[in-house]
């Protein structure tokens, strides 16, 4: 997936032929991209193509988030990491917030 929300797929020539055949017939031109189960299917055209999608991108598409949105879903994990990290390495913490509070 590129950061524009589009999922790029790699298909074999046989899979492309099945897809073209399915969309060429007006009676069987409904295609389903099942991101959750990683499948490209058509009931009317009788094909079921497995898709290889990384777990990260699959989750991003399912949640409808971009890279920033994905990071924000881990906000508490980031805060927990920062707390632990700066308690282990306090000299790396920025002293300005403490000075601003008058500590």
Q: What is the CATH number of the domain that holds 13?
A: 3.20.19.10
Can you read off the two tokens belonging to residue 3? 């950061």
Looking at residue 96, what is its pLDDT?
64
Looking at residue 97, what is its pLDDT?
59
Sheet holding 32-34, edge to edge: 32-34, 39-42, 47-50
Q: Which domain holds residue 37?
A: 1-66
Cβ-contact 66, 60 below 8 angstroms: yes
Residues 50 and 4 in one domain: yes
Residues 9 and 51 in one domain: yes
Give the C-alpha separation, 24 to 31, whole Å: 12
Residues 25 and 43 in one domain: yes
pTM of the model: 0.57
Residues 58 and 78 in one domain: no
Looking at residue 4, what is its pLDDT?
67
Can you read off the two tokens belonging to residue 81? 């990491």
Cβ-contact 62, 35 below 8 angstroms: yes
Query: pLDDT digit string (tens) for 16-64?
Result: 888 888 788 777 677 888 889 999 888 776 788 898 888 888 888 888 8
Residues 47 and 82 in one domain: no
Give the C-alpha separation, 72 to 55, whole Å: 17
Residues 95 and 80 in one domain: yes
Query: pLDDT digit string (tens) for 64-101?
Result: 888 888 888 889 999 999 999 999 998 888 766 555 54
């Amino acid at each position: 997936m590129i950061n524009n929300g589009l999922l790029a797929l790699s298909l074999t020539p046989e899979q492309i032929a099945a897809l073209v055949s399915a969309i060429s017939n007006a009676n069987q031109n409904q295609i389903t991209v099942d991101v959750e189960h990683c499948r490209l299917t058509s009931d009317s055209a009788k094909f079921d193509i497995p898709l290889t999608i990384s777990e990260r991108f699959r989750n991003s598409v399912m949640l409808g988030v971009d890279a920033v949105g994905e990071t924000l879903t881990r906000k508490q994990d980031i805060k927990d990491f920062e707390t632990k990290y700066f308690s282990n390495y306090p000299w790396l913490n920025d002293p300005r917030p403490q000075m601003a509070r008058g500590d």
